[in-house]
A = this chain, B = another copy of it.
Amino acid sequence: MTEQPTLEVAIGDLGTFMQRERARVEAALAAVLAGPEAEPESLHRAMRHSVFAGGKRLRPLLVIAAGKACGVQPDEVLAAACSVELIHTYSLIHDDLPSFDDEQLRRGKLSCHVLFGEAIAILAGDALQALAFEHLAHAGRGSPHPQRWLAAIAAVGAAVGSSGMCGGQTMDLEAAGGSLQIEQLRCLHAAKTGALLTASVLCGGILAGASGADLVALRRYGDAIGLAFQIVDDLLDVEGDVAQLGKRPGGDADRGQPTFPSLVGTEEARDETQGLMRQADDALESFGDAASTLREIAAYIVDRSR
């Protein structure tokens, strides 16, 4: 099994938080997904393969950290933490398909469609998306705050849909080999990767009953780390190796995909991540110490590129 060394960078309080909360999320995901005995077996194996292929669980950690910043315990937002990871996994499965990035490796393991075939991979993604929303709805039914869960479902739905992740993925397809301007690339990333990261942060706040002003602040934080995350990904794609990435590096360049480093250079791209980390910090000012984990996550995202 390929290690995921990027996570081991996190030390101190963040390292403890990540270790503890990742274990909580893993256990919850294992309970949400049907076991290997469920029929049809191939579909459930494909779903479990991709969900348990060793992801960083960044989105669930953001839900939990944002919930903490707004005063609620991890268990109160755990269903949302799992659901955004199910959505993220579905998007990876579909992105790896031959008609998209045609990736053979994902998170250091064979891609879903390589192992199970294209049709089952498409269905596994489809079923994970449905499960994510079903799981959110069940959590809401057992909650004293059904309105908050409906708001979370709406936020996740918007982040996935045609003006979010799916829209960004379309822009990405259409940008391959073309010449994007830097502002168009920002727009693409905000939709393709940023929307779900921001929705993850928002879910933590929404489920905690955060005020409108706090949600605006969380959105600003989410947008900043979302863009930083993508720029770092671009930098790693230029500079990383298979062991670090869990997938083939240089894939963007091979596809003629515009990236931040290719448009503005490696140094300016790295400077921008520093600026975004400051924006993320500023956005969290009113939360005080409660937002310390969110701040550490922002620093961790940017430090991945060093």
Which residues of A are at the interface with B, using a C-beta cutoff of 8 A? 34, 38-40, 42-44, 47, 90, 94, 97, 99-100, 117-120, 122-127, 129-131, 133-138, 140-141, 146-147, 149-151, 153-154, 156-158, 160-164, 166-167, 169-171, 173-174
Contacts and interface: CB of A to CB of B under 8 A. Distances in A.
Contacts of A99: 117-119, 122
A186 to B, nearest CB: 14
A293 B158 CA distance: 35
B150 A140 contact: yes
A104 to B, nearest CB: 17
Contacts of A160: 126-127, 130
Nearest to A142: B150
A220 B141 CA distance: 24
A127 B167 contact: yes
A169 B40 CA distance: 10
Given A123-B170, A126-B166, 14 more contacts: A40-B167, A42-B174, A90-B126, A97-B119, A99-B117, A124-B166, A127-B160, A127-B162, A131-B161, A134-B158, A134-B161, A137-B151, A137-B153, A141-B151
Contact of A134 (B42, B97, B153): B153
Contacts of A137: 150-151, 153-154, 157
A113 B134 CA distance: 28
A193 to B, nearest CB: 15
Contacts of A156: 133
B150 A130 contact: no
Contacts of A118: 99
A69 to B, nearest CB: 23
B94 A122 contact: yes
